Amino acid sequence: MPKSAKKALPILKPGVKAPNFTLKTTPDQSVSLRDFLGRPVVLTFYPADWSPVCSDEMGLYAQVMPEFKKFEAEVLGVSVDGVWSHLSFSKDRKLNFPLLSDFEPKGAVSKLYGVYEEDNGESARALFVIDKKGLIRWSYLSPDGVNPGAEGILSALEKLR
Amino acid sequence: MPVGDRDHSEGTSDAPLVLVEYGDYQCPYCGAAYPILKRVQKELGSSLRFVFRNFPITNSHPQAEWAAETAEAAAAQGKFWEMHDFLYENQRFMGDEAYFAKQETKLKLDATRIAREAAKGAYSSRIEEDYMSGIRSGVNGTPTFFINGVRYDGYPGFEPMVAALKAAQKAPSRKK
């Protein structure tokens, strides 16, 4: 898809309460955002399991996990892939945080956060740092195909202190 | 993290241009960049200082940490660049420790000591320091380059890199 065809997404901004959601993380387990109240949450939306940039991004977060843990932060990955794909992807890349399946109704949570790309039916690459009270404190929409790295997340987590 | 005495570097410390690479020895893109960097260094000669920092992506490259440890262990015996170059020139043998040990002996390094140090992760804190300095500078994969402290997002080819370096040399000097 040419970049010019893309409309600006209505990504939720800092200061907004993070909408609650419940998504499957394995075939028989679900997680809700509100389960994490009391701890900062890093919510990372990405287009698809297995695509090269995502792999780097999720793999990077897995590797930076000890740093995130210094802030007692939980990391949650979200894409529209199904749980079986998530399980396999997570195992292959040795991910150490849950991947959530925004699968049915498709992209509902991504839409809630204003990061769903209607044209290709995938989540955009977007990051949210949510504080322990459930307030969005930082959000970032990454350009197509660019791994946003971890620096923005770490800076946002530092500012929560 | 500013370039300093702790870093492995080639070229003089007062060179007007400083090129920092965050690299992974098992990363194929770093392997592809390796001969290009050699040409870039040759082209720019004494005006360039080249620095290598570790950014092992261990969950997709199982030998990356071992390779980084091996290069650091060689550095402790004064031969970082010899080992760095050999690792990149022999990426396809990554994991064959006997193969690398043979080269270490050829370089008159204590291969037993390198193997012992690499196995116990003797240089893991240094590698971690490199890695985190990369994360905090916005490194998101390998190789990532910085020219005089500014991230180079262009194509890692010979012409574009030389052009970017020459442009940086003409620009008023900022942070190094």
Which domains, and CATH codes, for chain B? 15-170 (3.40.30.10)
Q: What is the pLDDT of residue B60?
A: 82
- Domain spans of chain A, in order of start: 41-135
Min distance A91 CA to chain B CA atoms (Å)? 10
DSSP-assigned states of every residue in B28-93: HHHHHHHHHHHHHHHHHGGGEEEEEEE---TTT-TTHHHHHHHHHHHHHTT-HHHHHHHHHHTGGG
Contact B1/B14 with Cβ under 8 angstroms? no
pLDDT in tens, A20-68: 999 999 999 999 999 999 999 999 999 999 987 766 789 899 999 999 9
User: Is B141–A154 a contact, with Cβ atoms under 8 angstroms apart?
Assistant: no
In a 13 Å sphere around the CA of B134, the CA atoms on its Cβ side amount to 29
The pair phi, psi for residue A147, each rounded to 5°, is -75, 115
Residue A6 has pLDDT above 70, yes or no: no
Classify residue A104 by burial, with Cβ atoms within 10 Å: 0-12, 13-18, 19+: exposed
Strand pairing class (B17-23; B144-147): antiparallel
Percent of chain A with pLDDT over 90: 84
3-state secondary structure of A41: strand
Active site members of A: 54
- Write out chain B residues lying below 8 Å of A64, CB-based: 135
Identity of the residue in A62, A67, A149 whose CB atom sits nearest the CB atom of B140: A149
Q: What is the pLDDT of residue B174?
A: 53
Measured between alpha carbons, how far is residue A114 from residues A5, A7, A65, A110, A123 in Å? 17, 12, 26, 6, 9
- A65, A69, A73, A74: CA torsion to nearest 10: 50
Pick the range with the lowest mean pLDDT from A4-13, A129-138, B60-69, B80-89. Answer: A4-13
The pair phi, psi for residue A38, each rounded to 5°, is 100, -10
Beta bridge pairs of residue B21: B52, B145
Q: Which two tokens stand for residue B46?
A: 């004494």
Measured between alpha carbons, how far is residue A139 from residues A84, A114, B66 in Å? 28, 11, 36
A57 touches chain B (CB under 8 A): yes
DSSP-assigned states of every residue in A93-157: TT--S-EEE-TTTTTHHHHHTT-EETTTTEE--EEEEE-TTSBEEEEEEPPTT----SHHHHHHH
pLDDT in tens, B52-75: 999 999 888 999 999 999 999 999
Superfamily in which the A41-135 domain is placed by CATH: Glutaredoxin (3.40.30.10)
Number of separate helices (H) and strands (E) present in chain B: 7, 5
Crossing angle of helices B97-106/B80-89, nearest 10°? 140
Percent of chain B with pLDDT over 90: 90
pLDDT in tens, B80-125: 999 999 999 999 999 899 999 999 999 999 999 999 999 999 999 9
Contact A148/A127 with Cβ under 8 angstroms? yes
DSSP-assigned states of every residue in A79-93: ESS-HHHHHHHHHHT
User: Is A60–B132 a contact, with Cβ atoms under 8 angstroms apart?
Assistant: no
Q: Which helix (DSSP H) or strand (DSSP E) does residue A48 occupy?
A: none
Contacts for A39 with CB less than 8 Å, ≥ 6 apart: A72, A73, A74, A132
- Write out chain B residues lying below 8 Å of A67, CB-based: 132, 135
- C-alpha B144/C-alpha B55 separation (Å) is 9
- Write out chain A residues lying below 8 Å of B138, CB-based: 149, 151
Crossing angle of helices B64-76/B111-120, nearest 10°? 130
